[in-house]
Structure 1
C-alpha cells in the first residue's frame, strides 16, 4: 500500500499543531458560501456600502456582538478584515479595541442572526433600508467617494478583492475534506514563516498557494481569533511582512523561491490538486453557485457521476543503463481500462518534484496505476512490466492530506494528489432497441409463444437510455401503429399524427431467461409528451407531463421556444454549443451543419440574470448532458421530441429513428463515456476530451461494417418499413 507523503514530517507537524481559536474548516466553508452568493446581493460593493459600513454598521457592531449585517456591508467588512493590520488600527482608533465578526459557522444560525439584525437595523435606522439594491461603483471616478462620504482607503482595499469570488470558483474546494487538507498545509505554512523565514531568511517573502490562501483569508475573517492565534504562535508582526497578500503582484522568482523552500522543508510539491479553475472548466461543465439539490434522486436507476482532479508528480534520477528504453505508463483500474498514457524515463529524471500528469477521473475508476516498463522492441507497444504501484481513491480520501507517495524504483518516487469527488453533470444517450407493443413487451416470437400465439397489439418505436457507464436507466417509447400482425394481409397501421405520443418509463428491461435480448419494458411511466400541430403558423407544439410546453417554429427560420407556467425562470433553447459549452472554432473543424445538431438550454434567474446553461443535447445522436438541477425525464422528453420534429421537418431519418434493433455497444469499463479527461493534453483521442468536441467519435457503436453502415435485419412482425416511414416522415 502506498505510504503517506508526510512521513516523519507529518507526525512532527501534528505533534506541534497549534490549537486555533476558530474552526478553520468551517470558517472556509462559510466564506465560500458567502462569496458565491454575493452576486445575488448586488455583486461588487461601492461607496454607498462603505458609508453604511462606517457610519451605521461599525457603531452597531461595537454594541451588538451576534448580528449578521446586510450582504453589501458584510462584503465590505470581510474585505476590511482581510487587511488585518489596517482593520486593527482602524478599530483601535475608533473604538479602542478590536471588533470581532460574529463567530457563527452554521447556516441556520447565520440566518437567524441576519433576521435579528434586520429588526435591530429597522429600529435604529428607520430611514435607511436594510438591503441596498442601487450600489453602483465606478472604479474610474473617485469623486463618488467624496459624494457618499466613504472612506477612500477602505474603498481601495475593497477593490483589491473584486475578483476574489472568481478566484475561488473551483467546484472542488467546497468539500469539507478539502478544507481539512488545506488546514494542514496552512499550519505548515505558518510554521515555515515562524521557523524558516523569521529566523534565517528575513528577506524572503512567501506566496501562499491556492488552498493556503483560502485558509488564511478564512482565518483573518475573524480578526480577534486571528490576532490571538498569531500572538500565541509568535508571528503576529511577521505574517503581513513576510506573506504576499491577495492581488499583490510579485515576480515569478518570488513564487519559485516559495516552492523551493517548501519542498526543501517538507519534501512535497507546493502545488496540489484543486487550484486550476481554468483547466477544470475545459474538462467538464460546472456552475460555481449551482444548487446542491439533485432533483433526480427520486429516479432510483439513475446514478450520479462524481469527478475528481488528479495530479501526478515525480521526483528522482534514474541511474539505469536502460533508461532510454524505460518508461512509465498511467492506467486506471476501472472505467477506462484501455487508457495507456506513456512517459519516457529519460524525460522524467529530476531532482525536484515535477508535475507529470494532470487529469480528471470519475470516482468509479476506483484507482490509478503507475507501471514501470522496459521496451523490448524500441517502442511502447511491446514492453516488459518491471514494477507497478496503485493509488486507490478510497485510501487517498482517508488521508488527511489527500496525498500518497510510493517508490517506483530505488531512486525515484511518485506522488499523487487528488481532490474530493464532486457531483458532475449527468450524461445520457438513447440507443435503438426492439419495437414494443402497447403493453411494453418486445415484439418477438418468444413473447408470442409465451402467450400461446396471441398476437401482440400496437407498435411503439423504442429507445433504451444508457448512462455514462452503459447502465440502463430509462426506456423511451414513441407510439407508431395500432392493430396486430398475422401471416397474411393483416398488419399494423399508423395511428393519427396527434396520437403519436412519447412516453418515458423508469427502470431497466425485464429480460426473459431463455432469450437475453427479449423482454418487457419497465411498468412505471414517469413522463409523456403529446404533439399538436398548427399548419397555418408552421409550428409544432409538444405538451410535456412535466408542465413544460415546447414550440418548434419552422419555415424560413427554425426557432425553439420553451415555456412553463409553474416556473419563474426564463428558459431559452439556443441552437449550437453556447456559453460554457462553446467550442473554439479556430482549433476545430466544426461546420454549420454540425453546430445545428446541438441545442443549449439557458435559464435566467435572479441569481443568474445573464443566464446559465443547464443542458446540452445533440438531437441527431440522441445524447444529453445536464446539471443535477434539471429533471432527467424533462430532458429526455425534450431530446426525443426535437429529434422527431427535426426528422419530420427535414423529411429524412436524421436521428436514426428508423433503426429498430439493439446495436452492440463497446464493452462496459473498457472506455466509459467521460471516465477520464485530459483537457489540455495534445492527445488526439476524442474519448479524453469533453464529448461534445467530437460527439460522433465518442458515441459511435462498435457494430459497423466496412462502409460504415450498421447491418439491419427486421422481423415481419414489427410491421412493414413503410409503417415507420409514414409515421416519422409523413
Structure 2
C-alpha cells in the first residue's frame, strides 16, 4: 500500500511541471494544420517541396525576423503561406538545431508569437500586402508553375537538411488522424501523460540514469505541440533540466534490439514502476505503415455533397471503442494457487464486435511475462473477469462497467483493484480476505463503427413470392439474395430481374429490394450502358482510367466514389501474412472530396463472400446495391480482370436459364464462405506477450519483443510480422482444434523504416498442449512505440 501511495505522489509531482503554453488548444490547432497539409501532398516531396524550402529560407525566415524585431511592419498578426509554414513546422521539430540556426542567422530564436496559422488566419491580406511590398517578384502563395524568382534579398540559408526533415514528418499525420484523437478528454489525458514523460526524463538526469525515452503517439503529439512554440519550449526545458531537450526523429528502425525498441521497452518499464499505471494506451499506439495512396494526383470534387442516409435499409448505428486490457496482479490468493491461475474475460452484454470468452495471464503470477489484449467492442455493459485455477476451478468473479466511464466520457484509463465474489460461498463468513484482481483498462472515446452486411443467396418459395404470383413466370424466379447484418438479422432481400417496363429492351435490367414488411423498391436500373442507382442519385459505370492501378468502376452522384481492385488505403494489409487467393475478389470504394482530395476509403466489397463493410452511413445502401451488381458480373465473367476488360454488360434473355444454373451452383459456395467470414470476425482480440524487462517494440509486425503470441482454436501462424524477429505470429488460416497454440510465425527480417522485412518459413511452428488450456487469438498488427524521443 505504501508503494501505491508513493506512485500516486510521483504522478502528482509530475503534474506540477510548468508549461508556458496552452498545449490543449495548441494541439487541436496542430491537428487542423496537419490535415490541411495532407490535402496538399505536393508538399511531401518533389520539386514543389524543394521550392517551398527555398521560399522558407529566402522569404519567410527574413520576414519573420523583421516582424519579431518590430511588429509595427504589419498591423495585424503575421500569417505564413501554407508551404512556408509546413517547412517551418518541420524545422522547429528539431528544437536544438532550430535554436542554433536562428541564432547563427538572426542572432535570436524566431518565435511564433504574433503569428497565426494559415489554416485559421482570417487576416492574411495584411501579410500578403507586406509580402508583395518586400518580395514583388515572388507571389505570396506558392506558384507551382513558376520558377524561383531572383531578388536582391540576401539569401541566408540554414545548413540543416530540411528536405529529409520534412520527409521524416510526413507519416506522422496518419498516426494521429483518427477521430478520437481530437476528443477533449483524450487530449487532456495526453497533456497529463506528456508531463509525466518529461518528469521521467528529469528524474533520470538527476539520477544519472541513461535511457532513451520513447513516447506513445498521444504524448508525441503534445511534445510536437510544445516544440512549435520555440521560445516557450526553450524556456520551459531550461527551467526543468537546464538545457533544451532534443527531439531525435532521425531513427526509424523499430526492429528488435535497436535503439527505438530498447528505448520503448525501458520507458514502459520505468513508467509503470514509477507511476503504478500502464504506459500503453488505447488509440495511442503505432498503427503501422502509412497506407499506399491510390492516386498521386488530387481529384476535383463534383456535385453537391449530401450526408442523408437512405431510409430503405434501417441498420442500427453501432458505436465502437478500442480497448487495451492487462491483468496486473492478484492479492489474497491462497498459497495453493500461486503461480497456477489465469483470468477469463468476456462481456456481460455480448455484442456484434465482441462475443466470446478470452484468456489472459496475470503479470504477478507469470514469472515476469505478461499478455496485453487489444480488442474492439461496443461501449455497453460490463467487462467480466473470472479467476480460474490451472485445473479449471472458478475462484471468483469481478466486473468493470464500460458505460460508467463513457457516457459521458470522463476518463479513458482505469487501473484498480476489483474484489472477487464467489457465488458458491454466498451467505458464508470467510476468515480470509477476499481475493482481488488488479485490472488495467484503457479505451478510446466511442466512435461510429463500420456497418457490415452480408449477402446470402436463397431460393424463395413461389407461392410466397410477391414478384411471381403466376406459375408461368417460374423461370424468372431466380435466387433471392438476403442481406443480413452481423447478428444474422435480415434487413432486405435483393433480386436481379428483367425490367418490368411496358416495352422493355432485351438488355434492360432491374435490382429490386424487398423489406421484411413486403414493401418493394426498384433500387437500380440498367439501360444498356450504365446502372442508375437509387432513383438516379448514383450511377455505376466503368471507369475510364489511364492508370495501371486506376479504378475499375465509378459510383458517381451526390458524391464522387471510385472503386478499386483489391484492398486499398486503411483496408490495406498491415503485415506480411500470406494473402488468400480470394484477395482478387476484394474491391475498395474510395470517396474523393474537398476534405479528401487523395481519397478516403468508405467501403470494402468482398465479392467472394458477399460481405460489404461501409465506413460511412451514407454509403451503406449504395455499397450493397453496387456490390450486388458487381457480384452478378463477377459470376458471369469469372474474374475482375475480365470484368474490367468487358465493362458493365448484361447477358441477353436467352442466357437466363444458364445464369439460373450458375446461381444454384454458387449458392453453396457463397453461403459457406459467409459463415467462415462471420467466424473470423468473431475472433477480434489481439494478444501481445512480453517479458517485463524486455518488451522492445517494432514497426508493423508485432507489438513487443519476440515473445510468443497465442491464438485460440489453433490458427495457422502465417507470417510473423516485421521487425520483431521470430516472435510475431500471423493470423493465417484456421487449422482447427481447441488446444493451446504457441505460434512462432515466420517474420524473418527487420522493418527498417517501418516496411515489412522478408517473410520466410510459411506458417509458424505450432506447439499444442492440453486442449483445456484455452489460449486466445494473436494478431500481428502494430501496437507498439511511436517515434524516437
Q: Is the 8 A contact 2:216 2:280 kept in 1?
A: yes
Corresponding position of 1:416: 441
Q: Is the 8 A contact 1:461 1:479 kept in 2?
A: no
Q: CA deviation at 1:217?
A: 1.0
Corresponding position of 1:363: 378
Q: Is the 8 A contact 2:20 2:232 kept in 1?
A: yes
| Structure 1 residues 372 and 644, CA gap change in structure 2 (3 angstroms) | same
Corresponding position of 1:179: 187
Q: CA deviation at 1:321?
A: 1.4
Matched, 1:30 2:18: no
1:33-80 Cα shifts (integer Å, max 9, x gaps): 333442432233644323322331133332446233122211121122
Q: CA deviation at 1:617?
A: 1.5
- SS of structure 2 residue aligned to 1:373: strand
Q: Is the 8 A contact 2:214 2:263 kept in 1?
A: yes
Corresponding position of 1:310: 323
Find the aligned partners of 2:345 and 2:290 in 1 and give their Cα distance. 23
- TM-score normalised by structure 2 residue count: 0.63
Matched, 1:529 2:521: no
Find the aligned partners of 1:606 and 1:351 in 2 and give their Cα distance. 54
1:341-367 Cα shifts (integer Å, max 9, x gaps): 12456x862587x65233221325544
Q: CA deviation at 1:211?
A: 2.2
- SS of structure 2 residue aligned to 1:529: strand
Corresponding position of 1:40: 39
Corresponding position of 1:713: none
Matched, 1:548 2:539: yes
Matched, 1:273 2:290: no
Corresponding position of 1:427: 452
Matched, 1:121 2:131: yes
Matched, 1:218 2:206: no
Please give the residue correspondences for 1:660-679 in structure 2 after superposition, counting only pairs within 5 Å. 673=681, 676-678=684-686
Corresponding position of 2:356: 339
Find the aligned partners of 1:413 and 1:305 in 2 and give their Cα distance. 30
Corresponding position of 2:654: none
Question: More strand by proportion, 1 or 2?
Answer: 1
Find the aligned partners of 2:247 and 2:618 in 1 and give their Cα distance. 42
1:631 to 596, 613, 619: 619
Q: Is the 8 A contact 2:612 2:623 kept in 1?
A: yes
1:223-247 Cα shifts (integer Å, max 9, x gaps): 244345446xx3163451xx65333
Find the aligned partners of 2:50 and 2:466 in 1 and give their Cα distance. 74
Find the aligned partners of 1:18 and 1:319 in 2 and give their Cα distance. 43
Find the aligned partners of 1:496 and 1:572 in 2 and give their Cα distance. 28
Please give the residue correspondences for 1:46-445 in structure 2 after superposition, counting only pairs within 5 Å. 46-61=49-64, 62=67, 63=71, 64=74, 66-92=77-103, 98-101=109-112, 110-114=120-124, 117-118=127-128, 120-132=130-142, 134=144, 150-153=157-160, 155=162, 158=165, 161-165=168-172, 168-169=175-176, 171=178, 172-194=180-202, 196-201=203-208, 206-227=213-234, 229-230=236-237, 234-235=239-240, 237-238=242-243, 240=245, 245-248=248-251, 250=259, 252-278=261-287, 295=307, 297=309, 299=311, 301-316=314-329, 320-323=335-338, 326-333=341-348, 334-335=350-351, 338-343=355-360, 349=365, 356-364=371-379, 366-374=381-389, 378=391, 380=392, 383-395=393-405, 398-400=409-411, 402-407=413-418, 413-431=438-456, 443=465
Q: Is the 8 A contact 1:310 1:359 kept in 2?
A: yes
Q: CA deviation at 1:124?
A: 4.1
| Structure 1 residues 28 and 105, CA gap change in structure 2 (3 angstroms) | farther
Q: CA deviation at 1:277?
A: 3.0
Corresponding position of 2:770: none
Q: Is the 8 A contact 1:170 1:275 kept in 2?
A: no
Query: Which structure's relative contact order is higher, taking Cα pairs within 8 Å and 6+ residues apart?
Result: 2
Q: Is the 8 A contact 1:21 1:225 kept in 2?
A: yes
Corresponding position of 1:490: none
Q: Is the 8 A contact 2:452 2:612 kept in 1?
A: yes
Q: CA deviation at 1:328?
A: 1.0
Q: Is the 8 A contact 2:44 2:170 kept in 1?
A: no
Q: Is the 8 A contact 1:546 1:634 kept in 2?
A: no
Q: Is the 8 A contact 1:569 1:603 kept in 2?
A: yes
Find the aligned partners of 2:465 and 2:366 in 1 and give their Cα distance. 64
Q: CA deviation at 1:643?
A: 2.8
Corresponding position of 1:710: none
Q: Output the aligned Cα RMSD.
A: 5.3
| Structure 1 residues 531 and 204, CA gap change in structure 2 (3 angstroms) | closer
Q: Is the 8 A contact 2:456 2:483 kept in 1?
A: yes
Matched, 1:683 2:692: no
1:112-167 Cα shifts (integer Å, max 9, x gaps): 2456644553454332133336599xxxxxxxxxx987422262773573455267
Q: CA deviation at 1:218?
A: 0.6
Find the aligned partners of 1:466 and 1:281 in 2 and give their Cα distance. 33
1:406-456 Cα shifts (integer Å, max 9, x gaps): 34775752211222233443322234578699xxx96489x99xxxxxx9x
Find the aligned partners of 2:461 and 2:551 in 1 and give their Cα distance. 30
| Structure 1 residues 193 and 478, CA gap change in structure 2 (3 angstroms) | same
Find the aligned partners of 1:687 and 1:252 in 2 and give their Cα distance. 27
Corresponding position of 1:711: none
Find the aligned partners of 1:170 and 1:689 in 2 and give their Cα distance. 31
| Structure 1 residues 673 and 192, CA gap change in structure 2 (3 angstroms) | closer
Q: Is the 8 A contact 2:605 2:611 kept in 1?
A: yes
Q: Is the 8 A contact 1:371 1:388 kept in 2?
A: yes
- SS of structure 1 residue aligned to 2:160: helix
Q: CA deviation at 1:402?
A: 2.4
Find the aligned partners of 2:575 and 2:56 in 1 and give their Cα distance. 47
